[in-house]
Amino acid sequence: MLRGNLAIKKIKKDTDNFSLEGMIEPTFYNNGAENVQILHVVVKPGEKFFGGALNMVMNNEIPIRFEGNNKSGRNLICLYVSPVSDC
C-alpha cells in the first residue's frame, strides 16, 4: 500500500501542459464563473472532473483552457494525493 499526502493546486490560466506528474487520483473542481476545458472535456461551474485512474500514479501532461474572458472568475482547483513511500 502507498502512503501519501493530500495536496492542492490552483489553476487560473490556460496551459497546454498542466503536469499530472506524481499525482494519484487528481480531481478538478471548477469553482469559477466560467466553463473550463480539461483534456477537451467541458467542465461547467460547480462541476468536477476526475482526471486519473484509481491507485495509479500519473505522469503525463494535459491541456486546460478557460472559456470566456473573465480572468477574475477563473478558479479551478486540483486535489490529488502525492505519494510519500511504500508502507
pLDDT in tens, 27-66: 999 999 999 999 999 999 999 999 888 888 899 999 999 9
Alpha helices (H) along the chain? none
Q: How far apart, in whole angstroms, are the C-alpha atoms of residue 11 and residue 32?
A: 10
**Domain residue spans of the chain:** 2-86
pLDDT of 85 reads 72
CATH (residue range 2-86): 2.60.120
pLDDT-based confidence at 87, cuts 50/70/90? low
Q: Is 28 helix (H, G, I), strand (E, B) or coil?
A: strand
> Cβ neighbours of residue 45 under 8 Å, at least 6 residues apart?
30, 31, 32, 33, 34, 35
Q: State the pTM of this model.
A: 0.90
